[in-house]
């Protein structure tokens, strides 16, 4: 299977730029292209997030998980695996994860069920004691992206994997604008919002608008998870001003 497409603008202010050496795709010219999205991204303790989800929503029959800017699905798979790998917990109420992005093209990758892992991805997951073959199988299928700018990378080796059925039904990938989704969202103190490493692509005015929507729409006990980009833009402080309490690094809970 070969996926080819021409990207549209992923974020409102900038053309998407793929700038990491952690996950790779190829242009039609076979040039390496990195993406900042990757499995078990290090700016979040994913096992802690799973534990906080179980503890916080212990008496909640159904949890609504909204994951914005899901990109190629790496973090969606990471969250799902973190929940599934937490022993002794009932996890079905957390699925399916609603994983959204505004870019049709990167969603083609996510919906394909294919993902490219670099050596770094494989090493990270193995060091965590994760059995990669439990959730993914290596494939000769290829993913090819059109008209993206190649970047300087130090390691261009990667392998393509296909997700197994165990993981496939845990995530619903869809195109959606996070502002519109949040504006129309009905929370019953049962929502988990992941808005990670995306708000820096928006203007300060738009960031404020989004944070105000979070404060308005989410009820006490719902949670918000951010990334290192949001911390650099002081979003963590802004959440505290809006009646969210920090549970641990980058994980917040609405308190009133």
Q: Collapse the DSSP code of 84 into the 3-class scheme (helix H, G, I; strand E, B; otherwise coil) and give the result.
A: helix
Hey, which residues does 137 pair with through a beta bridge?
162
Q: Collapse the DSSP code of 81 into the 3-class scheme (helix H, G, I; strand E, B; otherwise coil) and give the result.
A: helix
Q: Where are the beta strands (DSSP E) in 96-203?
A: 97-101, 114-118, 136-138, 142-145, 158-163, 171-175, 191-195
Q: Which of 18, 37, 14 is nearest to 26 (CA)?
A: 18
Q: Using one digit for the tens of pLDDT, what is the confidence trace for 26-43?
A: 555 555 555 567 889 889
- Token pair of 202 as six digits: 């928006």
- Full-model pTM: 0.84
Cis before residue 132, ω within 30 degrees of 0? Answer: no
Tokens 């994760």 locate to 130
State the pLDDT at residue 145. Answer: 59
Q: Collapse the DSSP code of 197 into the 3-class scheme (helix H, G, I; strand E, B; otherwise coil) and give the result.
A: coil
* Residue with the larger pLDDT of the pair 17 and 160: 160
Q: Count of residues for the chain?
A: 256
Q: For residue 154, how many other CB atoms are within 10 A of its CB?
A: 6
- Token pair of 39 as six digits: 């499995």
Domain ranges of the chain: 2-254
Cα 6 vs. chain centroid, distance in angstroms?
Answer: 22
Domain 2-254: which CATH number of 3.40.50.720, 3.40.50.150, 1.10.3720.10, 3.30.470.20: 3.40.50.150
Hey, which residues does 200 pair with through a beta bridge?
none
Cα Rg of the chain (Å, integer): 18
Burial of residue 185 (CB within 10 Å: 0-12, 13-18, 19+) is: middle
State the pLDDT at residue 6. Answer: 33
Q: Which of 144, 12, 146 is nearest to 68 (CA)?
A: 12
Q: Using one digit for the tens of pLDDT, what is the confidence trace for 122-170?
A: 888 998 899 999 999 999 887 765 555 444 444 456 788 999 998 989 9
What letter does residue 199 receive in the DSSP assignment?
G
Q: Using one digit for the tens of pLDDT, what is the confidence trace for 171-213?
A: 999 999 999 999 999 999 999 999 999 998 899 999 999 999 9
The answer for residues whose C-beta is within 8 angstroms of residue 19's C-beta and 6 or more apart is: 34, 35, 36, 151
State the pLDDT at residue 108. Answer: 80
Q: Rounded CA gap, 10 and 28, in Å?
A: 20
């Amino acid at each position: 299977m070969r996926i080819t497409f021409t990207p549209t603008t992923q974020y409102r202010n900038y053309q998407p730029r793929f700038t990491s050496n952690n996950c790779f795709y190829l242009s039609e010219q076979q040039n390496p292209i990195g993406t900042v999205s990757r499995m078990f991204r290090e700016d979040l303790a994913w096992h802690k997030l799973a534990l906080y989800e179980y503890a916080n929503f212990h008496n909640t029959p159904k949890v609504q998980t909204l994951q914005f800017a899901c990109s190629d699905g790496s973090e969606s798979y990471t969250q799902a695996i973190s929940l599934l790998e937490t022993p002794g917990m009932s996890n079905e109420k957390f699925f399916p994860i609603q994983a959204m992005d505004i870019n049709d093209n990167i969603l083609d990758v996510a919906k394909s069920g294919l993902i490219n892992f670099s050596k770094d991805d494989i090493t990270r997951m193995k060091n965590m004691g994760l059995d990669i073959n439990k959730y993914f199988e290596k494939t000769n299928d290829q993913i090819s992206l059109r008209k993206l700018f190649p970047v300087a990378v130090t390691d261009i080796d990667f392998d393509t994997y296909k997700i197994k059925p165990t993981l496939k039904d845990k995530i619903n990938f869809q195109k959606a604008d996070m502002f519109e989704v949040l504006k129309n969202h009905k929370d019953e103190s049962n929502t988990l919002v992941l808005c990670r490493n995306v708000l820096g692509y928006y203007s300060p005015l738009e960031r404020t608008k989004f944070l105000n929507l979070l404060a308005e729409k989410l009820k006490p006990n719902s949670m918000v998870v951010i990334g290192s980009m949001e911390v650099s833009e002081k979003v963590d402080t802004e959440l505290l001003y809006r009646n969210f309490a920090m549970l641990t690094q980058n994980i917040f809970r609405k308190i009133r």
